[in-house]
Amino acid sequence: MINTGDTAWVLVSTALVLLMTAPGLMLFYGGLVRRKNVLSIMMQSLFLLCLISLQWILFGYSLSFGPDVGHFIGNLHWAMLRNVTGAPNPDYAPTIPHTLFMLFQMMFAVITPALITGAFAERMKFSGFALFSLLWAILVYDPICHWVWGAGGWIRNLGALDFAGGTVVHISSGIAALACALVLGKRKTYHNGATPPHNLVFTVIGAGLLWFGWFGFNAGSALAANELAVNAFLVTNTAAAAAALTWMAIEWRINGKPTILGAASGVVAGLVAITPASGFVSAGSAILIGITVGIACYFAVAVVKTKFGYDDSLDAFGVHGVGGTTGALLTGLFAQKIINAGGNNGLLFGNPSLLKIQFIAVAVTMAYSFTVTFILLKIVDAVVGGLRVEENDEIIGLDITQHEENAYTLID
């Protein structure tokens, strides 16, 4: 039975999640790279928005949410949207058109590979990126999405909680980002220091748009205009605020000054961590989740990355991998049936088994995403003749060498 209020809210939420990729993530990442690479990183997000939009309709949605095969993947009965109609699907969203649920999920499938681009920014060949991303969507995103959210998926059957994509979106992409950073190697100019962002104003606008769009991501994941959506909205805002204040406080203490890049990074870290928890935890828990993830992500990008020396250029692993893991595990601590009767109680509310289930979901997702990403990169490397652009092209910049364009002119 279609509910018009629910349908209106999920329509708006779908557009909000699109806004996170274009232009939210484009600006967030675009500001962080050097001026000679800003178009290349924006192009990658725009390209994925178009590519995955079609992949999803052709067969991606069917692989992710279609009728279950062995608890691992959907079959192709919903390919080309066959059997996906205006009638609601009771397994997923009983009050909105099935087509709308498919569209809402499409925007998640778009942003996930786009998050990975932060790890190989400023050095990956466009052809290699394009092929890798398509294969990654099919062989990593679609299966993991099916395990966690698809009817019959094995992690869903296990009882793991992932309200809006902590595991499906952030851990899968964050771990893939680490594999990319390790396989591609460092940028020629990277020596474990910082690469000054070329336009922090872009980055701050991008972070603001991500925050705004995240209300669609999390509150939209209620798939209805109800009290659960409102709770998700509340805890999303709360965790973002708490994580950003935490990040600023750490900087203030350690470096003597809070920075706006730190604040913006904290916002995103908080939003990432609350994602899996947003339909299951209270506002008080959201503050604690925000504080914890602020500390965890700061430590990951400022200490761990420098110590090990991998070039996760825009901290896709440091923020999404670490933040997503923090959020998924803390969901096992803070979840409450009082918030969502369809969920479960966490460790702090008398049910230690949920934490164990969350841990299994996190560990298997990490292992699967890392392994398959690693293999895909090796295959793509062989197919396109090297994942990276030529050394001289990297020095000149990807905008000119990959796309024959410049973002900024010097004269007029």
DSSP 379-397: HHHHHHT-SBPPHHHHHH-
User: Toward other proteins, which CB reaches closer, 259 or 406?
Assistant: 259
Residue 59, amino acid? F
Q: Which residues bind other proteins (CB under 8 A)?
A: 192-197, 250-251, 254-255, 257, 259, 261-262, 265, 298, 301-303, 305-306, 315
As measured in angstroms, the least distance from the Cβ of 259 to other proteins is 7
User: Toward other proteins, which CB reaches closer, 3 or 195?
Assistant: 195
List Cα–Cα distances, 209 to 19, 25, 288, in angstroms.
Answer: 7, 8, 24
User: Toward other proteins, which CB reaches closer, 134 or 322?
Assistant: 322
User: Residue 371's closest CA among 133, 126, 178, 142?
Assistant: 178
User: Toward other proteins, which CB reaches closer, 305 or 388?
Assistant: 305
Rounded Cα–Cα distance for residues 334 and 286 (Å): 9
As measured in angstroms, the least distance from the Cβ of 144 to other proteins is 28
**Taking a C-beta distance cutoff of 8 angstroms, is the pair 42, 253 a contact?**
no
As measured in angstroms, the least distance from the Cβ of 213 to other proteins is 22
**Taking a C-beta distance cutoff of 8 angstroms, is the pair 399, 38 a contact?**
yes
Rounded Cα–Cα distance for residues 116 and 179 (Å): 10
* 345 SS3 class: coil
As measured in angstroms, the least distance from the Cβ of 193 to other proteins is 5
User: Toward other proteins, which CB reaches closer, 146 or 170?
Assistant: 170
As measured in angstroms, the least distance from the Cβ of 398 to other proteins is 20
User: Toward other proteins, which CB reaches closer, 154 or 190?
Assistant: 190
DSSP 22-74: IIIIHHHHHHHS-GGGHHHHHHHHHHHHHHHHHHIIIIIHHHHHSSEETTTEE
User: Toward other proteins, which CB reaches closer, 31 or 113?
Assistant: 31
Instruction: Characterize 20-30 residue by residue with b for buried, 16 or more Cβ atoms within 10 angstroms of its Cβ, and e for exposed.
Output: bbbbbbbbbbb
As measured in angstroms, the least distance from the Cβ of 95 to other proteins is 42
As measured in angstroms, the least distance from the Cβ of 65 to other proteins is 36
CA angle, residues 54, 379, 131, in degrees to nearest 5: 25
Q: Both ends of the chain: CA-CA distance in Å?
A: 58
User: Toward other proteins, which CB reaches closer, 255 or 353?
Assistant: 255
Rounded Cα–Cα distance for residues 364 and 250 (Å): 32
Residue 173, amino acid? S
As measured in angstroms, the least distance from the Cβ of 248 to other proteins is 12
